[in-house]
Copies of this chain bind each other. A is one copy, B any other.
Amino acid sequence: MNTEKYLVRPDKPIRISDLDPNDSSEFEGKKKAGQAALKELNKEIEELQELLYAEGKKRLLVVLQAMDTGGKDGTIRAVFEGVNPQGVRVASFKVPTWLELAHDYLWRIHSQTPRKGEIVIFNRSHYEDVLAVRVLNLMPEEVWSKRYQHIREFERLLVDEGTVVLKFYLNIDLEEQARRFLARLEEPSKNWKFNPGDLDDRALWGDYMLAYEDLLNKTSTEWAPWYVIPSNKKWYRNLLIATIVRDTLVGMKMQYPAPPADLEQYYQRVLEMVQSYEEKEPEEE
Q: Which A positions have Cβ atoms within 8 angstroms of B?
A: 22, 30-31, 54, 73, 76-77, 80-86, 88-90, 92, 121, 123, 175-176, 178-179, 181-182, 185-186, 188-189, 191-196, 199, 232-235, 256-260, 262-263, 266-267, 269-271, 273-274, 277, 282-285
Contact = CB atoms under 8 A, between A and B. Distances in A.
B86 A179 contact: no
A89 B84 CA distance: 11
A195 B262 CA distance: 12
Copies of chain A in the complex: 2
Contact of A263 (B30, B176, B185, B257): B185
Contact of A259 (B54, B194, B256): B194
Contacts of A191: 256, 259-260, 263
A192 B283 contact: no
B84 A81 contact: no
B86 A88 contact: no
Given A233-B283, A283-B179, A82 B84 contact: no
Nearest to A176: B283
Contact of A196 (B123, B266, B273, B277): B266
